[in-house]
A = this chain, B = another copy of it.
């Protein structure tokens, strides 16, 4: 069993520490909330415990390739929260929806190319059937901690 954990190892990936609030910051919400067969996942940035891994605006401070990497790392941070909440990532039986938020410098609109870093991670781990999901990729004005990418999601849990 532990299919997803095994697949992470095969891909040479490991999960960061689950998100905790950086010093002086209050984050009084739940990283994951389960309701009616779905887990609703809070907006996540790429973070290792309380250490923010990427900062800056995409298209100026952060080039596309690095933003794509940040989106993939954001996925790993989200999986750390899901594992903490659910006990086992195999309980995520199907991905449903993701909302990708890209901290865009003026004029940068290749937001789908950035979010592919997240989507391809999920497809690599769950495969095209269980991992396939609806998605939006939008350019926002600001993100918490000046992160370049934030993603929230809805998944089915078994």
Tell me the A residues contacting B by CB distance below 8 Å.
Answer: 25-33, 35-38, 40-43, 94-99, 101-102, 104, 106-113, 116, 119-120, 123, 132-146, 150, 152, 154, 156
Query: Which chain B residue shows the least CB distance to A145?
Result: B109
18 contacts between A and B (CB under 8 A): A25-B113, A27-B112, A28-B120, A28-B123, A29-B98, A29-B134, A30-B133, A30-B135, A36-B156, A40-B97, A40-B154, A43-B135, A109-B144, A136-B150, A136-B152, A138-B144, A138-B150, A140-B140
Query: Quick one: copies of this chain in the complex?
Result: 3
Contact check, A140 vs B139: say whether CB atoms are below 8 A apart: yes
Q: How far is the CA of A26 from the CA of B114 in the complex (A)?
A: 11
